[in-house]
Amino acid sequence: MTLPTALWTDIALGSLACIILLSESLLGPRLRKAIVFHGAWIGLVLIGILTVCTAPESEQAIGNYLIRPWTIPFRLCFCIAGALSVLLSRNLLSGTGHTHRRGLLVSGGVHIFLIICSTLGMFVVTGAQDLITFLVGIELATIPLYVQAAMLRDDFSSEASAKYLIIGSLSTAFTVFGISYLYGAGNSVHFDTLAQTLTADKHFAWVGVIFVLAGIGFKLSAAPFHMWAPDIYDGAPPPVTAYIASSSKAAGLAGLILLVYGPFQQLGADLENIFMFLAIISMTIGNLGALRQKRFNRFMAWSSVAQIGFVLMALTGGDLAIPSIAFYLLVYIIGNFIAFFVVNCLASNRPETFSNMRGLSKQSPLLALCLLISMFSLAGIPPLGGFFGKFELFLAAAQPGHEHFYLILFAAINAVVSLYYYMIVVKDIYITEPTHADNSTCPAIAILPSQRLTLVVLVIAIIVLGVWPAAHSWIFTLAGS
Amino acid sequence: MEATLTTDILFYLFSAAILGCGLMAVTVKNLLHSAIALMGCLFGTAGLFLLLDHEFVALMQILVYIGGVVIFIIYAVLLTTHLGTRYLPASTLKYISGVTLAAIVLGLVLHIDPQATHTAVNPDRTATTIDAIGYRLLDGSTNGFLIPFEVISVLLLSAMIGAATIAKHQKPGATNDEDETGGSAS
Amino acid sequence: MPFLLNCTWILPTLIALSLMFVPKQKVGVIRGMSVAGVLGILALVVSLIIAFLAGDYASPVGSAETTLAFSYRTPWFEAIGNQFYTGVDGFSLLMMLMASIIALCGVLVSWTITDRCKEFFILLFILLAGTFGCFISFDLLTFFLFNEITLIPTYLLIAIFGSGKKEFAAMKLNLMLFGGSALIILGMAGTYSATGSFDMIAIANNQSETLGSIAMWAFPALFMGFGILGSVFPFHTWSPVGHASAPTAISMFLAGVHMKLGGYGCLRAAIYLMPEGAQEWMPLFMVLATISVVYGAFIAIRQRDLKYINAYASISHVGLVTFGFATLTAVGLKGGVLQMISHGFVTAVVFALIGCIYGRTHTRNIDEMGGLMKKIPFLSVCFVLAGFAVVGMPGTSSFVAELTIFIAGFSGSLDDTLRLVCGALCISSIVITAVYVLRTVNSVVHGPLVDNGHEFTDARFIEKVPLIILLTCIFAMGLFPGWIIELAEQSLTPVVTNLGR
Amino acid sequence: MIESSWMILLLPFISFIGGILFLHKQPKLAAGFSILCNGAAMVMALILAVGFLSSDDTGYHALAHTWSYDWFAITDTLTVSIGALLDPISIMMLVVITVISTLVHTYSIGYMENDASAGRFFPLLSFFVFSMLGLVIAPTLVQMFVFWELVGVSSYMLIGFWYHKPSAVAASKKAFIITRFADAFFLTGIILMATQFGSIGFDAINQGATAFSSMNTANPSFSLEGGAVQVFTALAAQEGSAGFLGLNLLSWATILIFIGGWGKSAMFPLHVWLPDAMEGPTPVSSIIHSATMVVAGIYLTARLFPVFAVAEYTLSVVEFTGAITALFAAIIACTQRDIKRILAFSTLSQLGYMMFSLGVADMEHTAGFTASMFHVFTHAFFKCLLFLSAGLIIHSVHSNDIALMGGLRKKLKGTYFVTLLAVCAIAGVPFLFSGFWSKEEIIMAAWSNGHQCSAIIGLLVGGLTAFYMGRYFFLIFHGEYRGDAHHLEHAHENKFMLFPMVLLAIPTIIAGYPMLTGHTFFNTVIPQATLPTHPDHSASWIMPVAIAMAIGGLLVAWLKYGRRAVSFDTPSTNIVYRCISNKFYIDECYIFVTKKIIFRCVAAPMKLCDDYIVDGIIHSSAAIMRGCAAVIRHWQNGQTHVYLGLMIIGLALLAWFGGAL
């Protein structure tokens, strides 16, 4: 049996996990530090490149595992997010000096290993061709995160982990329950069979569909399954938060698309209503929640809820949905990570509240500019990547045959509301003068060289994505068909 | 198993056991009692599987859940100080909302299609023997589940390592020295 | 030539970028670069106009394709049908000319800014880049993109350099303008859904039924979306507070040029693309425009703050632009265009004067001023002249524009009672305008001199230059409007042709 | 000469530009320059007039378009151009304006000699003259409107010349806004004319109207061309249509245009700005009241007379407005104490004459038209003279109040003499003075054309005029001096001021004689003008009655004010008198309407609406969002079971929206 080239990435990822684990256990402390950290992010970057290089032109199958061209951008997103999470962990790992106010991760090596495992799980999700693989992939993507959330020594971290675990378990229960109904209705776990047997008149299938969607809704933190997000974002270690906010969502979306355009394809029209509901309620609740937040991580959680609303809006539409979501995710992940990197630097010596960001433009112009660009990209301001990303989501909902113009209007107004709170951040870093109390507790901000470099690269990337259409066309070639 | 009077009676017995134990599990105040009630609940489920001729699943149910999970829970309850004797407060409001939510889920499932059982396809029973399951798990073709099987191993590995890491270092006063981390992983 | 055309936005961008590398202490270098930059833009625009007039474009042609000069087209985000498509017609060129003159004056009046001067000019040039990008874009998405680019610098410029309730004002302005963008997005999604393209000229020539039916609601969305930027009632409330809080140069640019992007968009992106929708919806917008005109003028009577007075006056006068458009006649559209240009100059000079006067009196409340004619005659005379320009005296550009608009209100058949009533109300606004202008002029420059007035000094050279430039433009356009009208008329031909289809 | 008529327009403009830019710091030079320019213009106007009169062809075809410049195009067919239309009435106005302006400029040298800002005064005065000249030679409605507005601007600047005086500033504002109010109607009328009748050119409009009026006789006496055809067709189409509110379009357009003249000529009730405009320097008042600004409305009506005559009702409106104003202003003038205000009301009254005289004419009986133009001509000189003399008096006694004057004949002999001539002229003292002839003509025209009511009002006003002018004259020059003796000692007659007054005395007397020759000079706007060649016997009683009224009025004034000392100490408590002396409380009504109704009941609620409703909705939407955000934060309480419960509810919602429930 010959392996399809596209499967190399999955294997490489598995191997990378093993290498990290082995070097963590076997090597001496000095070598270990270099290999575990640098090996991991370089490995993930290389796998990302490999993903791009081995992108298939058509579907490639190995047994029950299917590499679809449209999943390639998603896989790239997973790799990028994984690599960035590793880089973001830098100041929580030992050996760089104690530069995060919440201390060090319990075990950096395991943390990195778990990131890679989780990434592998996401890869599996995108390759799934039956419900079992799908479920296993999702669990592999999620369970390591429960552990990672607990990787700091403080109570917040433990509490976040526990909450995440409990709520995640319920969502898994939903998913499994739904899958059992789907199996009952379709008499198969295989997507191709299900696609033919799950028809809209089969009410029995609907229980399955709804429960599965609820389970995925948890992964996406789509309202009303979003309640965990602010608490966990605030409590989990920063790299884990960033990872949950980006990669985990991307995986959920990949899974969702897989189902919607696979087994659920005959339910299309009715699913549109569900997505419309989810989109509307997510963006509304997300936006309202983000208003007047005082803590940055909670703020990012709410904003991500709102962002998911926009993405779900695209799913009500037609062909444009997949490529636009893929492009949006890429942009969104980069934008998110810029914000998390900046805040992570900031958090070296202060809590991540807005009041502590005041005067940032004077203390560190670079960080301030990066945060500004990140916020504007998330808000969808040109010429940053976020503009086209968000705009295409709108267009996707306006495709012939799927014209949801009221939804677009509602979403566009929500985008304006979201702009408000993103601008509040900008206002805090650029305009509001720090009060004396804010200032006195803020010593200089330490930025590690690797993080500074990453920030610059990311900022350039987000501008380039907004003005240079190469990546955009690549995604559309892969995912457009 | 062919549907006979006996199977019917057994079905209702098991169902009653599941419901009764389930109710008990969520209502009793002592955690230990709750865990034991849960065990009864799981036994009932295993019985239902047996009635459906799925011996393997029934076996797994007993092995994994009763033999593994519930025993773990009981250990945890017993080993943790105070947890066995501390009663969790439960207000009326919580009861009411709990019952309401349960009713919602039940209503949802029932309402979506009252004739649910009739439209469900009867699964193929031949594939449920232990051999067949084993073969399917190791089958790399489109019918098999080789990849999920492999992935589960990674999942278990990561879960174990992760759990061990946290467990080891959650002790109060643990040092920041990273060298210990490596030891735990091996 | 297409490259030179694109230079109108590339040049400001480059200046903004290069300013980033100038140390912020070197104020002189920053100012020098800025002035050189705006002069460069002005030179570019002037040379473009000369080339335009010299070329074959100057003859009116039915199809839009041929009137579009210096066009440049390259696929951009082509997967969604987007191109980078730039070009100009007479209308854009006129707007660009006005924008570059006002930008020049804006830089000159900003001479006194020393605190965070570098940021100021960087943001100003980004604003300029966006504005010019808008004027040359013929791809709907690109147009929208440039339009969005202008909004953020506006926010920062007001919130950082403004006065009074600056943060609130900046936020309100931006949110309302982005609210307009939301409507624009809706309209664009509609047109995209019907045509799969963003090419304005292609959409304008698309006569499919799908577009026709979508135009029924996409048109109001687009028109109102841009209308918010053009401060059409009831979405005008961003403008008084925004203009009042902005620093002088930004008030000038916002009211003079930026607001005009709204009218520009209304014409270019709404009326031109969806004439069927325009025919259907115009009564509503005519009523709204009339309300803006009368309502803005009446409120200006009650205001005390000079900037608020001018802001409401702007609402009133920009309402006339919308009214001109809403008549959907060749004369009305032309009048609207002329009024856009004229009002750009007029409001810019008024804001510049308010800035100069505020620099002396340290108050903008007209009750606390008086008799300035005695101590600062130059500024006062300019103020009176500007006041007459606001009133629309013959000889100033406003007269030409307003007369054309008013004529549009009554031209053709008189069966349309709504248009007659609206037209009459708009004409009545000239009286109300006279009331508030004279009240303002009288209480500021006339009457007894205020107590602290004796130490006031008249305008310095650097202050005189922009005032003289702008007043010259106002009078030049008022006295010799011929070529401007010709350019506007000719570039409006495709729009009018489309309306008649 | 006709070809270089643009020079007449240009010279005052040069005077303005040169003066304001270069000479505003040197009052003497500015004055000299202005007089030079205006004098040159006067000479040219006179040459032009003489040339025109001496040519044989003074009929309708004497219309001369001497030059034209296309300003801007509105539509393909409608182009706004600036040019000159020379015909008898415009040439008459050119002469009157330039003559008076030159004299007033000269007078101002004396009047402004102690004023520091005289350097600004002369250029502005020239600008005023320029605007008025542009207005009278306008060949199109739009050009007329343009200069009409410039007249408004220049009057604003001149009335408010002493900008540090709040009353002057207020008066200038009032003048501008009230005329602007009327101008809005004027503009609407022009636009209706332009869009519905297709032309803004006077000759096209008038030719069309003339052709239309002769349509019934099916004998258009001349061929139509150009815009006239359009107007003719449009008029014919309008005929018989019910129109809006019972008036057809033409009546609407003409009445709207007339309202413009109504405001500018300060007809009742838009007259309130004119008395206040006395706040300006006296030369300005004199030029406004005699030759510029206020006659603009009359001139406009005369200009468009054929089309006004064709329109239903329009001329009736003109007539009644004029008659009411004449009477109304004359009554008020009897009670005023401010020397300039008396003259202002007398101007109003005389303007009323001119207006109703136009109103009583029609296309067949044009005597009223001729009489009106004649009165414009004569009135200009004696009213200018009156104001100049009043200025000199004020200059001498430093007061405007006639209660503080008296017995000035001894001190100001020259003034006394010329004022006497002017008073006689305005009062209509028979035969010798110009005013008599023109006024007589008006009343005669009204009566003979069947407008008896107006004629009787005319007679009555004649008597009132004689009375208040007598009162004015006797209170100032006769009796004992009642003011501050200190001022009287320094009173003297500046030669720069006296000289123009003496010059003006000449036309005050002789301006009436051209009429005796029966020249049809003013008649030519109307093509088939037919003067009443044979005297109307039914009206022969009018002249004696008019003479009796004039003499009687003066006599009553002499008896009441001239013969014995008058006491001003106790103001009359008679309610009628109070009402009249307070100008019928019209100003108060205006203040009530503007301040109380428009400002407080329209503008203020609009502002409140803007602040609290329009803006309030936007702000409250933000507040609502904040409220919702608080609710969401409330549920986000960290309790895991709440989260789980909401997830289950969400599940149900999903099912509902999926259509499964």
pLDDT above 90 as % of chain D: 5
Nearest CA in chain A to D649: A224
Q: Does A407 touch chain D if contact means CB atoms closer than 8 Å?
A: no
Backbone phi, psi, residue A398, to 5°: -120, 30
CB B53 within 8 A of CB B125: yes
Q: Are D188 and D256 in contact, with CB atoms under 8 Å apart?
A: yes
Above 50 in pLDDT, residue A28? yes
Inter-chain CB proximity B101 and D645 less than 8 Å = yes
Computed over every residue of chain B, the mean pLDDT equals 77
For residue D2, pLDDT over 70 is answered with no
Are residues D163 and C431, on separate chains, in Cβ contact within 8 Å?
no
- Residue-averaged pLDDT of chain D: 81
Q: Which of A24-28, A392-396, D62-66, D92-96 has the lowest mean pLDDT?
A: D62-66
Do C and A make contact via 3 or more CB pairs under 8 A? The reply is yes
> Chain B partners of A120 at a C-beta cutoff of 8 Å?
151, 154
Q: How many CB atoms lie within 10 A of CB A460?
A: 11
Answer whether C79 sits within 8 Å of A480, measured CB to CB.
Answer: yes
Residue B173: its pLDDT value, please? 45
Cβ within 8 Å, pair D163-C295: no
* Residue among C145, C171, C193 minimizing CB distance to A400: C193
Choose among A381, A415, A473: nearest Cβ to C152: A381
Band of residue B186 on the pLDDT scale cut at 50, 70, 90: very low
Res B177 pLDDT > 60 = no
Give chains near C: 3+ CB pairs under 8 A.
A, D
Q: What is the pLDDT of residue C208?
A: 85
SS3 content of chain A, % helix, strand, coil (to 5): 75, 5, 20
pLDDT band at B174 (very low <50, low <70, confident <90, very high): very low
Write out chain C residues lying below 8 Å of D610, CB-based. Answer: 237, 295, 299
Residue of D nearest to C412 (CA): D195
Provide the shortest C-alpha distance from residue A218 to chain C (in Å).
29
Flag whether residue A384 sits within 8 Å of chain C, measured between CB atoms. no
Whether C353 shows a pLDDT value over 90: the answer reads: yes
Nearest CB to D626 within list A211, A231, A291? A291
Cβ contact C81:C192 at 8 Å: yes
**What is the DSSP pairing of strand D79-86 with strand C69-75?**
unpaired
Judge whether D341 and D276 are in contact, CB under 8 Å. Answer: no
Instruction: Kindly state whether A409 is in contact with chain C, defined as any CB-CB distance less than 8 angstroms.
Output: yes
pLDDT value, residue C147: 92
User: Distance between CA D500 and CA D389 in Å, rounded?
Assistant: 10
pLDDT over threshold 70, residue D57:
no
DSSP tag of C73:
E
Tokens of B158: 């990561």
Nearest to D285 by CA among D373, D392, D441: D392
pLDDT digits (tens, 9 = 90+) for D237-254: 766 666 666 677 888 888
- pLDDT category of residue B119 using cuts at 50, 70 and 90: very low
Q: What is the pLDDT of residues C22-77, one digit of tens each?
A: 888 888 899 999 999 999 999 999 999 998 888 766 544 445 455 678 888 888 88
More confident residue, C126 or D9: C126
- Kindly indicate the confidence band of residue B87, based on its pLDDT and cuts at 50, 70 and 90: low
- Enumerate the residues of chain B whose CB falls inside 8 A of the CB of residue D648: 101, 104-105
pLDDT confidence tier of residue D575, bands split at 50, 70 and 90: confident
State the best of C305, C407, C416, C486 to mutate against chain D, taking most chain D CBs within 10 Å: C407
Tokens of C171: 């936020």
* Residue C392 or residue D490, greater confidence: C392
Question: Is the separation of the CB atoms in A398 and C189 below 8 Å?
Answer: yes
Averaged pLDDT of chain A: 88
Spell out which residues of chain B touch residue A137, defining contact as CB-CB under 8 Å.
Answer: 148, 151
CB-CB neighbors (< 8 A) of D649 in chain B: 101, 104
Q: Is residue A126 within 8 Å of A75, Cβ to Cβ?
A: yes
| Interface mutation target, options D646, D648, D651, D653, chain B, most CBs of B under 10 Å | D648
Residue A464 Cα, gap to closest chain D Cα (Å):
35
Write the DSSP assignment of C86-124 as a string of letters. Answer: EEE-HHHHHHHHHHHHHHHHHHHHGGG--TTHHHHHHHH
* pLDDT for B2: 63
Contact D164, C449 (CB under 8 A): yes
DSSP structural state of residue A247 = I
Residue of chain C with shortest Cα separation from D176? C434
pLDDT band at B122 (very low <50, low <70, confident <90, very high): low
Q: Mutual orientation of helices C140-161 and C166-195 as an angle, nearest 10°?
A: 170
Contacts of D643 in chain A (CB under 8 A): 163, 167, 227-228
The confidence score (pLDDT) of residue D661 equals 54
Q: pLDDT band at residue B183, thresholds of 50, 70 and 90? A: very low
Please answer yes or no on whether B108 and D649 come within 8 Å at the CB atom: no
Q: Which of C233, C394, C428 comes nearest D149 by C-beta?
A: C394
pLDDT digits (tens, 9 = 90+) for C74-89: 888 888 888 898 888 8
What is residue A77's predicted lDDT score, i.e. its pLDDT?
Answer: 94
CA B23 to chain centre: 16
pLDDT at D532 over 80: no
D607 contact residues in C (CB cutoff 8 A): 298-299, 302-303
CA-nearest residue to A478 within chain C is: C79
Using DSSP, how many helices (H) and how many strands (E) does chain C show?
A: 21, 2
Q: How many CB pairs under 8 A join A and B?
A: 160
Task: Give the model's confidence band at C124: pLDDT under 50 very low, under 70 low, under 90 confident, else very high.
Answer: very high
Per-residue pLDDT reduced to its tens digit, D419-451: 888 888 888 877 777 778 888 888 888 888 778
Q: What pLDDT was estimated at residue D217?
A: 52
Q: What angle do CA C200, C205, C209 make, to 5 degrees?
A: 110
pLDDT tens figures, D142-151: 999 999 999 9
Counting CB pairs under 8 A, whether chains B and C reach 3 or more, is no
Nearest-Cα distance to chain D for C16, in Å, is 35
Q: Which residue has the higher pLDDT, A62 or D526?
A: A62
Q: How many other C-beta atoms can be found within 10 angstroms of the C-beta atom of residue A405?
A: 18
CA distance A206 to C54: 70
Taking an 8 Å cut-off on Cβ atoms, the answer to whether D657 and A228 are in contact is: no
Q: Considering only alpha carbons, which residue of chain C is nearest residue D192?
A: C410
pLDDT at C349: 94
D and B touch per CB criterion (3+ pairs under 8 A) = yes
- Please state whether the peptide bond connecting residue D27 to the residue before it is cis, i.e. omega within 30 degrees of 0: no
In C, residues 401-460, which contact D (CB 8 Å cutoff)?
A: 403-404, 406-407, 409-412, 414, 423-424, 427-428, 430-431, 434-435, 438-439, 442, 445-449
What is the SS3 assignment for C69? Answer: strand
Residue type, D366: T
- Average pLDDT of A276-292? 92
C22 touches chain D (CB under 8 A): no
- Is there a contact between D137 and D172 (Cβ–Cβ < 8 Å)? no
The pLDDT of residue C363 is above 70: yes
Residues from chain D contacting residue B107 (CB–CB below 8 Å): 652
Total H helices, total E strands in chain A? 22, 4
Assembly ipTM: 0.88
Residue C225 C-alpha, separation from nearest chain A C-alpha, in angstroms: 12
CA distances from C251 to A434, B88, C156, C341, C353 (A): 27, 64, 13, 16, 11
H/E stretch holding A398:
strand A398-399
| Cα A148 from Cα A161, distance rounded (Å) | 8
Q: State mean pLDDT over D410-415.
A: 80
Q: Which residue has the tokens 């830019």?
A: D21
Tokens 């303005």 sit on residue: D16
Has residue C343 got a pLDDT over 90? yes
Rounded to whole angstroms, the Cα distance separating D310 from D255 reads 12
- Residue of A405, A430, A469 lying closest to C156 (CB–CB): A430
Q: Average pLDDT, stretch A465-471?
A: 90
- pLDDT tens-digit readout, D84-110: 888 878 888 888 899 888 988 888 888
d(CA A272, CA C217): 22
Q: Encode C297-317 in three state secondary structure.
A: HHHHHHCCEHHHHHHHHHHHH
Does the pLDDT at position C460 exceed 90?
A: no
Residues of D in contact with C309 (CB under 8 A): none
Q: Please, which pLDDT band fits residue A438 given cuts at 50, 70 and 90?
A: low
pLDDT category at C171 given cuts 50, 70, 90 is very high
Contact D164 C446 (CB under 8 A): yes
Res A83: pLDDT:
95
Q: Which of C245-259, C332-346, C423-437, D505-519 has the lowest mean pLDDT?
A: D505-519
Confidence band of D655 (pLDDT split at 50, 70, 90)? confident
Cα distance between residue D453 and residue D392, in whole Å: 39
Please say if the pLDDT value at position B117 is more than 70.
Answer: no
Scanning D637-656 for CB atoms below 8 A from A yields: 638, 640, 642-644, 646-647, 649-651, 653-655
Tell me whether residues D641 and B111 touch, CB distance under 8 A.
no
Closest CB to B155 among A127, A143, A153: A143
In the block, which residue shows the tokens 């909450």? A163
Nearest CA in chain D to C297: D603
CB contact under 8 A, D149 and C446: no
Contact partners for chain D, using 3 or more CB pairs closer than 8 A, are: A, B, C
pLDDT score of C345 more than 90? yes
Report percent pLDDT > 90 for chain A. Answer: 51
Chain A environment of D657 (Cβ under 8 Å): 273-274, 276-277
Cα distances (Å, whole numbers) of residue D374 to D302, D429, D435, D523, D581: 12, 17, 9, 10, 31
Q: Which chain A residues are closer than 8 Å to D644 by Cβ? A: 166-167, 170
Cα–Cα dist B28/B24, whole Å: 6
* Structural tokens at position C242: 């925004």
- Tokens describing residue C233: 């009632």
- Average pLDDT of chain C is 89
Tokens of C18: 């290069």
Is pLDDT at A335 greater than 90 in this prediction?
A: yes
Strand partners, A295: A353
Q: What pLDDT score was predicted for residue D241?
A: 65
For tokens 């009546």, the residue is D251
Query: How many angstroms separate the CA atoms of A2 and C47, rounded?
Result: 66
Q: Distance (Å) from the C-alpha of residue C105 to the closest C-alpha of chain D?
A: 23
Average pLDDT for residues D264-278, to the nearest whole number? 85
